[in-house]
Structure 1
């Protein structure tokens, strides 16, 4: 499985093409639109979310509610495009010396503006920021929605939630089943399981907004139902936890990732880090704890996958930092683009999507996956094999 995305933040549309989805898998536009709507929610979102109502258009790869095995083509229209047609149009300028509208020559600290301009030779850094914008995560969530659908059909559930915003940290969630975690965080405006700190998180977002500032946080993704032994130890680039780590860090503004106890392992002896192995007739091989977050040697252990990512504060500020005009080399306050004061709740949805994608891709790589029913049977057979090993 693989996918590629295209499109700019204020262009006509965002597109993703997905290859490798098994044929015969049930899939509807609602499966994808549900996830797109979740991404647009969350306390602290800016005015762009009031303009866009993201809806997918499946233009290839599905017929009568089932995947064909051919590439999926998903398109999400940018409603704001009508205001940007002259600024972002594809046709050449009529006059050679015609002024480019909304040209950006003042790179914003913390963004890709300057280094992207240097790399690709763009004197107008709008060419950089339009693509490096987090708007691109719209179609990454769309791709993740397809992956989540496949995982759910295979008995694998994914849930993301917010652990920390602006220094306000929630207690680790305690729940009876993953559906409870999904439901409770879905009802929270900050996607937090801990109701006692939810109000404090909202207050922190409001304070940042009043200050013209932004705040970041930590999101966590939990996955239950993954079969044992997905991934591989034989090569560095086949380790599944490494692929997930890369996927988390590829999300805009994410700067750190950890599994299980994560960085806390550095302060503990080995006896308090590793998970003892036990066996029973009902479940087969299980662990008495899950400190390693569901991975050993780059492979799934069958325990819940627990991965966290840290998101830095969004660098677009209404109280902008100093920068340098690349044309005049004079010092200026960085330009302001419409932005959020906090996107951590929405980022938890994106994190779900990228984790789901890597898991689904690993499963289709390891098991027979041309046809959905063969994949499902292959997974069931593997679970029986692993239990009786």
Structure 2
């Protein structure tokens, strides 16, 4: 099946299903002699894994990974890196009731029509379980970016209509501490408590709710991005829209920018270091990207997630014989995906920037 690979030079190919033996990823194009911090990679996976709190799915997966190739004495060799993550807590029987039914807003119907077969056990490849492989690959990309002093920070900025205030991006280390101190992964403590209460209420009602993840990438050098079709924001957009449940992507001023005048929206250049190699702008409505190429300012973007499609309420649907039937969600599901999606967004951003850094070396 096509569509399982991502990237031009730093590439990943993920494999496996939600209820199969394992999931995993093959990373190709990673430079040699990159020292891998195994504890860091596991900590990244721990931020995505299920069963973290009362407001996430209670499926129990340790997401303990093993590296089967491409690493020797703790360093990358420049050859393909294979990472395997076993599935430990599958309950395929939880999905027997939808074996012949199409769940509303799921991929059941479209997969059946495209391939003539579908894995009803948790959705197979369409399951968000697949994103654990991306997080593992993204952790290695982050270790590569660390050598260039590039840092990525994401947090939950909205759940439903509850929105967090704008954050001071100059104190990212402190924001990370706050984010990781609450189950919602919002970097504003007061808003996090409100969000947690709201998600708990939604869960008790058997329903789900969407949200938004906001991200800042700092330290990106000028010049990343390729004209015309591989613009940096286009690559970021594709990466984010490939994540399960994502329904929107905007960078910089985003849709709000459409309400402004050019005289308000233009980012005026300044030259604090008196060098054309390090220009800055007074504002950052461009989100760190102009003409599809990074301009040295912080890259900022938002990713919107829809409500989880599986709800514990009776709904009308159609079975594979065309009959109208009732369906009620069963099994273990997130009432809101954004707390666990933060690390997925960061991982995909790291993969894009790592790939663009290596592509940019062609011009150096």
* TM-score using structure 2 length: 0.91
Choose from 87, 91, 105 the match for 1:110.
105
Structure 2 residue aligned with 1:260: 252
C-alpha contact (below 8 Å) 2:55/2:183 kept by paired residues = no
Secondary structure of the 2:342 match is helix
Structure 2 residue aligned with 1:78: 87
Greater Cα shift, 173-182 or 353-362: 173-182
C-alpha contact (below 8 Å) 1:155/1:225 kept by paired residues = yes
In 2, the alpha carbon distance for the partners of 1:167 and 1:38 equals 24
Structure 2 residue aligned with 1:153: 147
Greater Cα shift, 217-226 or 313-322: 313-322
Q: Using a 3 Å threshold, how does the CA distance of structure 1 residues 248 and 118 change in structure 2: closer, same or farther?
A: same
Map of 1:1-389 to 2, 5 A cutoff?
A: 1-40=10-49, 41=52, 44-48=55-59, 51-81=60-90, 104-122=99-117, 125-126=119-120, 129-233=123-227, 235-236=228-229, 238-281=230-273, 284-327=278-321, 329-367=323-361
The alpha-carbon deviation at position 31 of structure 1 amounts to 2.6
In 2, the alpha carbon distance for the partners of 1:45 and 1:254 equals 18
In 2, the alpha carbon distance for the partners of 1:62 and 1:193 equals 35
Which structure's CA Rg is the greater one? 1
In 2, the alpha carbon distance for the partners of 1:42 and 1:269 equals 45
In 1, the alpha carbon distance for the partners of 2:116 and 2:130 equals 22
Q: Using a 3 Å threshold, how does the CA distance of structure 1 residues 289 and 52 change in structure 2: closer, same or farther?
A: same
The alpha-carbon deviation at position 315 of structure 1 amounts to 0.3
C-alpha contact (below 8 Å) 1:29/1:57 kept by paired residues = no
Secondary structure of the 1:55 match is coil
The alpha-carbon deviation at position 338 of structure 1 amounts to 2.4
Q: Using a 3 Å threshold, how does the CA distance of structure 1 residues 114 and 25 change in structure 2: closer, same or farther?
A: same
In 2, the alpha carbon distance for the partners of 1:219 and 1:350 equals 10
RMSD: 2.0
In 1, the alpha carbon distance for the partners of 2:122 and 2:347 equals 24
The alpha-carbon deviation at position 336 of structure 1 amounts to 3.0
C-alpha contact (below 8 Å) 1:44/1:343 kept by paired residues = no
In 1, the alpha carbon distance for the partners of 2:341 and 2:54 equals 12
The alpha-carbon deviation at position 276 of structure 1 amounts to 0.7
Structure 1 outlier segments of 4+, above 4 Å: 100-103
Between Structure 1 and Structure 2, how many residues are aligned?
Answer: 350
In 2, the alpha carbon distance for the partners of 1:179 and 1:76 equals 29
Q: Deviations over 1:326-374 (max 9, x none)?
A: 1361322255342111111111111001011000011111116xxxxxx
The alpha-carbon deviation at position 63 of structure 1 amounts to 0.6
Secondary structure of the 1:272 match is helix
Q: Deviations over 1:82-129 (max 9, x none)?
A: x65xx8xxxxxxxxxxxx96661111111101111111112x551781
Secondary structure of the 1:80 match is coil
The alpha-carbon deviation at position 166 of structure 1 amounts to 1.7
Secondary structure of the 1:319 match is coil
C-alpha contact (below 8 Å) 2:271/2:279 kept by paired residues = yes
Secondary structure of the 1:352 match is helix
In 1, the alpha carbon distance for the partners of 2:122 and 2:156 equals 29
Greater Cα shift, 164-173 or 315-324: 315-324
Structure 1 residue aligned with 2:7: none
In 1, the alpha carbon distance for the partners of 2:337 and 2:40 equals 23
Greater Cα shift, 37-46 or 316-325: 37-46
Greater Cα shift, 317-326 or 164-173: 317-326
